[in-house]
Amino acid sequence: MNRRSLIIKASLVLAGSCFKINEAFAFSVDFLKKKYQNFYTPENSKFHQLKKTFNTLIIKRDPFGILFPKKASEISSFLKETKTTGQKILMRSGGHSYASFSTGEGIVLDSRNLRQFYELENNVIKTSSGMVLSSLNNSLDEINRSFPVGAFPSVGIAGYLLGGGHSRRSRFYGLGADNVSSMDVILANGDKLHNVSPSHYGDLFWAMLGGGGGNFAFVESFTLDTKPKTKDYFFKFVFNGSHLTKASEIFSFWEKESSFDSSEFATNLTVYIQNGYIKKMIVPGLRNNVSKDKNELDFELKNSKWGELFNFEHSHFESSISHSNDIKETTIESMSFKGSSHYANSLIGKIGFEDIQSSIAKHTKGMSLYMGFYSLGGEIKKPKREISFPHRNSLYMVDLFSNFRADRSRFSQMNQKFNNHYTHISHLFSGGAYVNYPNLDFENWAEKYYGKSLSRLLTVKKRYDPDNRFNYGPQSLSSLLI
What is the domain-level CATH number for residue 339? 3.40.462.20
CATH for 33? 3.30.465.10
Residue 28 forms part of a structural domain = yes
CA–CA separation, 142 vs 138, rounded Å?
A: 6
Phi-psi region of 327 (alpha: psi -120 to 50; beta: other; left: phi over 0): beta
Same domain, 50 and 163: no
Residue 450 forms part of a structural domain = no
Residue 85 forms part of a structural domain = yes
Nearest Cα neighbor of 1 from 22, 33, 26, 31 is: 26
Same domain, 265 and 403: yes
Same domain, 11 and 80: yes
Considering only CA atoms, give the Rg of the chain: 23
**DSSP track, 342-369:** EEESS--HHHHHHHHHHHHHHH-TT-EE
Residues 99, 86: contact at Cβ < 8 Å? no
Tallying the residues shown for the chain, one arrives at 482
Q: How many domains does the chain have?
A: 3
Same domain, 278 and 424: yes
Residue 38 forms part of a structural domain = yes
Examine the fold and report which residue of 78, 95, 110 is the final residue of a domain before the chain moves on. 110
Give residue 336's pLDDT.
84
Same domain, 281 and 411: yes
Range of the domain at 147: 117-228+455-480
Residue 449 forms part of a structural domain = no
Same domain, 181 and 255: no
Same domain, 387 and 307: yes
Residue 328 forms part of a structural domain = no
CA–CA separation, 447 vs 266, rounded Å?
A: 29
Nearest Cα neighbor of 90 from 438, 473, 439, 462 is: 473
Same domain, 313 and 361: yes
Give residue 8's pLDDT.
41
- pLDDT by position in tens, the chain (length 482): 444 444 444 444 444 444 444 555 554 777 888 889 899 999 999 998 899 888 888 766 789 999 999 998 999 999 999 988 889 999 999 999 999 999 999 999 999 999 999 999 999 999 999 999 989 989 999 999 999 998 888 899 999 999 999 999 999 999 999 999 999 999 999 999 999 999 999 999 999 999 999 999 999 999 999 999 999 999 999 888 777 888 999 999 999 988 877 788 899 999 999 999 999 999 999 999 999 999 999 999 888 888 777 778 889 888 887 655 555 555 567 788 999 999 999 999 999 999 999 999 999 999 999 999 999 999 999 999 999 999 999 999 999 999 876 566 678 888 999 999 999 999 999 999 999 999 999 999 999 999 999 999 999 999 999 999 999 999 999 999 98
Give residue 368's pLDDT.
93
Residue 431 forms part of a structural domain = yes
Sign, CA dihedral 90-91-95-101, equals: negative
**DSSP track, 58-105:** ------SEEE--SSHHHHHHHHHHTGGG---EEEESS---TT-TTSSS
Instruction: Report helix, strand or coil for 265.
Output: strand
Strand blocks (E) in 176-217: 180-186, 192-196
Give residue 46's pLDDT.
92
C-alpha dihedral (382, 384, 385, 389), degrees to nearest 10 = -40
Give residue 84's pLDDT.
86
Same domain, 70 and 96: yes
- Contacts for 426 with CB less than 8 Å, ≥ 6 apart: 342
Residues 115, 207: contact at Cβ < 8 Å? no
CA–CA separation, 250 vs 474, rounded Å?
A: 39
Which amino acid, 49?
A: Q
Instruction: Answer whether 0.95 is exceeded by the pTM.
Output: no
Bridge partners of 266, per DSSP, are 286
Give residue 24's pLDDT.
53
Same domain, 76 and 178: no
Same domain, 247 and 211: no
Residues 90, 106: contact at Cβ < 8 Å? yes
Nearest Cα neighbor of 410 from 334, 333, 338, 360 is: 338
CA–CA separation, 380 vs 343, rounded Å?
A: 14
Residue 391 forms part of a structural domain = yes
Instruction: Report residue 476 CA to chain centroid gap.
Output: 15
Same domain, 265 and 406: yes
Examine the fold and report which residue of 110, 133, 158 is the final residue of a domain before the chain moves on. 110
Examine the fold and report which residue of 77, 110, 143 is the final residue of a domain before the chain moves on. 110
Residues 395, 432: contact at Cβ < 8 Å? no
CA–CA separation, 366 vs 417, rounded Å?
A: 9
